[in-house]
Amino acid sequence: MNKETFKKIRKDNGYTQLALSEVIGLTEQMISYMENGHKEISKRTAIAMRNIPRRVE
């Protein structure tokens, strides 16, 4: 998964970086690093992203 897809999935499902970090068990900083291309998105994280529920507020 590339950084653009990662960010699009997050935004399309209604998550802030902080909210997503709580759902998939990463830090908000790590989410930011991945979205900016500073850290590689692991297969485990890519799978988690494809399975996150749509956020309802």
Predicted local confidence at residue 55, as pLDDT = 87
Cα–Cα distance, 57 to 46 (Å, whole number): 24
User: What's the predicted TM-score (pTM) here?
Assistant: 0.89
pLDDT tens for 33-47 read 999 999 999 999 999
Q: What fold does the segment set 3-50 form as a domain?
A: 434 Repressor (Amino-terminal Domain) (1.10.260)
Please report, for the chain, the start and end positions of each structural domain, with discontinuous segments joined by +: 3-50
CA dihedral 10, 12, 16, 22 (to 10 degrees): -50
Contacts of residue 10, defined as CB under 8 A and 6 or more positions apart, other chains included, come to 17, 20, 31, 35, 49
For residue 37, the surrounding DSSP H or E stretch is: none
